[in-house]
Structure formats: C-alpha cells, structure tokens
C-alpha cells in the first residue's frame, strides 16, 4: 500500500478545497490519493476528529478501499482504541491479503495490545518475499523490544537498517536498545562500518551522529550531522538534530539557524516550532518564543511541550500568575514530566503559594529523585520559614538519592549550622570539601556577616592544610 503524497503547495490547495467543501456542506469528489493526503494531514497535525471525518467521507466514495480502512485503523490506534483498529485491519486484509502495510500495522497493533508473541507469530511467515522488508523487520524488533527481549530487538533493528540504511525509526530504537543493554559505546564500530562502506552516505553520517548524541558526545555528534547536511543539503532530520546538539552546547544562535532550516525543508509541525520557541527563549527573545509556541498549539492543541514553553517564557518575564495557568495545562496533558512540576513549584512559590509549591516539589521528587536542584529548592522553602528541622530532613533525603553531590552536603552543613547543630554540620562540611573543595563558596550565600565568614574560612583553611 504505497503512499504518494503531493508537494506541499498542491497539498495546501487540496486541504483548502476540502475545508471549503465542508463549510458549504457541498458534495465534492476527490481521488483516493488526495483523500489519503487529507486524512494524513489531519492525523499528523493532531486533529484526529477531522481525520476520522475525512475517513467517513472517503468511505462513502470508496466503500471497498483497504487504504481508507488502514488510515482509520491508524487513527483509532493513536486514540488507544486498539481492538477496534484490529477489526478494521482484518477487514482490510480480506480485501488485500498480501499488502505489506496491513501486515506490518496488524503486527504493530498486536504489540500495542501487549500480545507480543502473537504479533511475532503473525509477522514471521512474511519475512521472505515481502516488499518493504525493512518495515516488517522493524515491526518485529519493536515487538521484541516492548516484550523486554532486547537482544532479539537489536537483531531485528540491525536487519531493518541493513535493508534500509535511511530507516530513522530503526536507528533510534536500535540506539535505545543498545543503551539499555549497555552496548552503545561498544557498538560505535557497527555504525562506522556504514561510513567505511560509503563515506559519501548522508544517512550513515546521520546514524553516527545519533549514537554520539545518545552518548552525550555533542562535539562528535555535531561533526557527524554537519557531514550529513553537506552531503544532502535538504536532510531535514539532520538539520533538526544539529539544532538539538547546538542547544546542548548552549550555542543558541547556531541552533536557531538549524531549526529555521528544518522548518523550511518540511511541513510545519509542533515539534520543530516548539524547539524554535525554546531557542528564542534561551536568546531572551520572549515575544518570538511565545509566537512559535502558539503556532505549535494551533497545529496541535494538546502539545504539552508548547504549553510548558509558554509557561517558562512567562516565568522569565515574572508573569507568574499567567505562567501557572499554562504550566497546569502542560501537566494535565503529561503528569509524568518532572520539569513541569518543578517550574510549577517555582511559580507558586514566587506568588506566595507555599503549600501548592511544596506539593509540586513533592510530586517532582517521586518522578525524578536524582535532581539535586529540586532538593535544594524544596528544602529552602522550609529553611526560609525557619523550619530548620524539615529543611534538614529534606536535604538529607536528597543526599540519600545523590550521595556524591557536593552542593547538597554544603547545603546540609549550612542548615545544621543555622540550627546550632555544629558537630553534625562539620561532618557534612568535611564530606562536601572532600567531594568538591572549590564549591565551598556556596556556604557564604547563607552567612553574610563578617564574623561568621571568618569562622568558616578558618574551618575550611584547616581542611585545606590537612588535605595538603
């Protein structure tokens, strides 16, 4: 079931014509390829209801189309209606029993339903002689991956890449499985062999860039993405990943250029627009950032990252009341993102909502207990209120999670000194000095009086002498 989409300008014309038809409640004939484009446009831009409406109209004109059944099944699957999607695929298979897309989608749906063994048994017989073999191999890899059988998943993801080096999803998932199993760094030679076979292959350099990105080797990743874009100037995914890499390196001007290039090369999507917004935000261009985030929400009204971006921008402008509204929208759509809860906690604290702030920090601590900043900020709320006991309790909980974080030890020493628990404070202070001597200056944020600072200097100098 091959998909042949029209160019962007022609596609826009068909969408406009279709929507005009709906507004006027007129009947209008579209060929199957155009309906396919319209349905996918709405599905990919986060408008499933409109996509289903287009499916209904298409079915009226093409009642025996396996393509329309396939599209409707994909939409239902995205909405979590897996069993209903499987029923549609079974109908489509009866119309086109050897269609690759239908075979792959049925396997993916069985995987989504956590019927992993059944998914593999369904797909395995088609491995020989099927078109688009890379898609089937990838689907089998995903079944094993979700089943938790990573070695088998790695095998099939590699097979998918051998069949199609440009298969981006197989690349990402292979890197994920290798990372989970601790094999990512040792697999570099696997990715480099593609470059040895063809040094002028843009996908090969792109693949290598992704591995370096996963390993947080950002300079090496950047170099690989640059080669990919030099070899293939319209390689949108490579430009996008290059933008992400520049962001990690805090080179925001260059990240902006990469994201703008990505936007020019592909149809607008909420992910690229949100990344553009984040880049403008880092550059302090808040109006432009907000514009990008809002454009993202026009494409997908449930894109939580864009709501978070708006909230973050508003916080940067000290518009904390307004920020809370958007941060809560982001959390409603994605309750498991610790960054959303942390920024909500900060905004609530800034406007004096201490209880709401501590509740948000508590939720964040369950999601990401290894965030040192979280423990510092949360405990400081109680310290600021004079509740030293609760502040000490929280910061020691943070140390339990992150025993080698020097700043947490320094913070605990400061709280204990303020609570006149000198013996205990010296223990944490000595631990902190051992972990990172140079960070001892954080103590002086809590002790501004000359006499207190003099006493601290004396203790620190004693340790310096003893350490020498």
pLDDT digits (tens, 9 = 90+) for 43-61: 777 788 888 888 878 877 7
Cβ–Cβ < 8 Å for 304, 330? yes
Residue 451 burial (CB < 10 Å; 0-12/13-18/19+)?
A: exposed
Which range has the top average pLDDT, 238-247, 295-304, 431-440? Answer: 238-247
Q: What's residue 184's pLDDT?
A: 85
Choose the most confident range, by mean pLDDT, from 36-40, 344-348, 447-451: 344-348
Query: Is the pLDDT confidence value at 441 over 70?
Result: yes
Long-range contacts of 231-237 (CB under 8 A, 24+ apart): 231/200, 231/201, 231/202, 231/205, 232/202, 234/265, 235/202, 235/206, 236/262, 236/265, 236/266, 237/168, 237/206
Q: Burial-class residue 401 by CB neighbours within 10 Å (0-12, 13-18, 19+).
A: middle
**In-domain check, residue 255:** no
Going from the C-alpha of 159 to that of each of 44, 133, 180, the distances in angstroms are 28, 9, 19
Residue 273 has a pLDDT of: 97
Judged by average pLDDT, the poorest of 98-112, 138-152, 367-381 is: 98-112
245-297 pLDDT, tens digit each: 999 999 999 999 999 999 999 988 999 999 999 999 999 999 999 999 999 99
Residues 330-353, mean pLDDT to the nearest whole number: 96
Query: Residue 373 has what pLDDT?
Result: 95
121 vs 106, 111, 138, 149, CA distance in Å?
11, 11, 15, 15
Only one residue has tokens 């941060």, namely 327
Confidence grade of residue 63 (pLDDT, cut at 50, 70, 90): confident
Evaluate if residue 229 carries a pLDDT over 70: yes
Half-sphere exposure of 241 (CA within 13 A, CB side): 30
The answer to whether position 29 is within a domain reads yes
Q: How confident is the model at residue 4, as a pLDDT?
A: 43
- pLDDT above 70 (res 3): no
Pick the more confident residue, 465 or 396.
Answer: 396
Q: Residue 335: what pLDDT? A: 96
Percent of the chain whose pLDDT exceeds 90: 55
Residue that wins the pLDDT comparison between 16 and 241: 241
Separation between Cα atoms, residue 153 and residue 389, nearest integer Å:
50
- Whether residue 285 is contained in a domain is answered as no
For residue 56, is it within any domain? yes
Residue range 386-401, pLDDT digits in tens: 999 999 999 999 999 9
User: Is 448 a residue whose pLDDT tops 50?
Assistant: yes
Instruction: Say which residue, 132 or 465, is predicted with more confidence.
Output: 132
Quote the pLDDT of residue 9: 60
Packing angle of the helix pair 66-78, 100-112 (nearest 10 deg): 20
Does the pLDDT value for residue 6 go beyond 60? no
Task: Quickly tell me which residue has 């996908």 as its tokens.
Answer: 203
Total domain count, the chain:
1
The span from the CA of 160 to the CA of 141, in Å, is 9
Is residue 289, in this structure, part of any structural domain at all? Answer: no
* Region 178-187 average pLDDT: 88
Does the pLDDT at position 348 exceed 90? yes
| DSSP string for residues in 29-51 | ---HHHHHHHHHHHHHTT-HHHH
- pLDDT band for 434, please (50, 70, 90 cuts): very high
The number of angstroms, rounded, from the C-alpha of 386 to the middle of its chain's C-alpha atoms is 39
- The answer to whether position 184 is within a domain reads no
Which pLDDT score is estimated for 468? Answer: 45
**Would you give the DSSP letter of residue 200?**
T
pLDDT digit string, tens, across residues 304-314: 999 999 999 99
Residue 212 has pLDDT above 90, yes or no: yes
Residue 5: the pLDDT is: 44
**More confident site: 443 or 327:** 327
The lowest-confidence range among 122-126, 253-257, 297-301, 453-457 is 453-457
SS (H, E, C) 152-199: HHHHHHHHHHHHCCCCHHHHHHHHHHHHHCCCCHHHHHHHHHHHHHCC
Domain with 36, as residue range(s), is 1-97
CB of 402 within 8 A of CB of 437?
A: no
Q: Is the pLDDT of residue 235 over 60?
A: yes
Q: Give CA–CA dist 299/100, Å, rounded.
A: 30
- Supply the DSSP string of 206-262, one letter for each residue: HHHHHHHHHTT-HHHHHHHHHHHHHH-TT-HHHHHHHHHHHHHTT-HHHHHHHHHHH
Residue 216 φ/ψ, nearest 5 degrees: 60, 30
The structure tokens listed for 269 are: 């999507």
- Let me know if residue 2 belongs to a domain: yes
> Is residue 337 within 8 Å of 305, Cβ to Cβ?
no
| pTM of structure | 0.74
d(CA 72, CA 81): 11
14: domain CATH number?
Answer: 1.25.40.10
What pLDDT, on a 0 to 100 scale, did the predictor assign at position 309? 98
Burial of 295 (0-12, 13-18, 19+ CB in 10 A): middle
Residue 142 pLDDT level (bands cut at 50, 70, 90): very high
Whether residue 58 contacts residue 34, with contact meaning beta carbons closer than 8 Å, is answered with no
Instruction: Please state, in angstroms and rounded to a whole number, the distance separating the CA atoms of residues 223 and 207.
Output: 12
């Amino acid at each position: 079931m091959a998909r042949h989409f029209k160019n962007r300008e022609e596609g826009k014309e068909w969408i406009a014509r279709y929507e005009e038809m709906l507004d006027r409640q007129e009947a209008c004939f579209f060929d199957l390829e155009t309906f396919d484009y319209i349905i996918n446009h709405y599905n990919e831009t986060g408008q499933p209801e409109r996509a289903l409406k287009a499916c209904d109209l298409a079915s009226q004109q093409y009642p025996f189309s396996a393509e329309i059944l396939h599209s409707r099944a994909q939409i239902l699957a995205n909405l979590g209606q897996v069993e209903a999607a499987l029923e549609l695929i079974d109908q489509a298979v009866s119309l086109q029993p050897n269609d690759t897309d239908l075979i792959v989608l049925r396997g993916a749906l069985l995987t989504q339903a956590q019927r992993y063994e059944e998914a593999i048994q369904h797909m395995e017989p088609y491995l020989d002689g099927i078109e688009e073999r890379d898609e089937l191999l990838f689907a089998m890899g995903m079944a094993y991956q979700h089943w938790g059988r990573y070695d088998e998943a790695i095998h099939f993801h590699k097979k998918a890449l051998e069949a199609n080096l440009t298969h981006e999803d197989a690349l990402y998932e292979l890197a994920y499985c290798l990372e989970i199993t601790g094999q990512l760094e040792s697999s570099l030679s696997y990715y480099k062999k593609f470059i040895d076979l063809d040094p002028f292959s843009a996908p090969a350099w792109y693949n290598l860039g992704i591995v370096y990105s996963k390993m947080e080797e950002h300079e090496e990743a950047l170099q690989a993405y640059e080669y990919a874009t030099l070899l293939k100037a319209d390689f949108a995914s490579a430009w996008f990943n290059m933008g992400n890499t520049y962001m990690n390196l805090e080179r925001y001007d260059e990240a902006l250029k990469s994201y703008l290039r990505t936007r020019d090369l592909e149809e607008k999507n909420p992910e690229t627009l949100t990344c553009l917004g984040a880049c403008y935000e880092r550059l302090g261009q808040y109006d432009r950032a907000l514009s990008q985030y809002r454009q993202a929400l026009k494409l997908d009204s449930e894109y939580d990252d864009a709501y978070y971006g708006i909230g973050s921008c508003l916080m940067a402008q000290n518009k904390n009341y307004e920020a809370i509204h958007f941060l809560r929208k982001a959390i409603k759509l994605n309750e498991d993102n610790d960054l959303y809860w942390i920024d909500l906690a900060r905004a609530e604290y800034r406007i004096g909502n201490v209880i709401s702030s501590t509740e948000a920090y508590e939720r964040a601590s369950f999601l990401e207990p290894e965030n040192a900043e979280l423990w510092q900020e949360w405990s400081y709320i109680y310290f600021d209120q004079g509740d030293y006991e609760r502040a000490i309790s929280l910061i020691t909980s943070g140390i339990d999670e992150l025993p080698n974080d020097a700043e947490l030890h320094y913070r605990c020493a400061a709280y204990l000194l303020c609570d006149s628990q000198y013996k205990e404070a010296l223990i944490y202070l000595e631990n902190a000095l051992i972990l990172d001597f140079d960070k001892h200056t954080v103590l002086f944020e809590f002790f501004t009086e000359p006499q207190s600072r003099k006493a601290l200097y004396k203790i620190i100098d004693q340790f310096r002498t003893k350490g020498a």
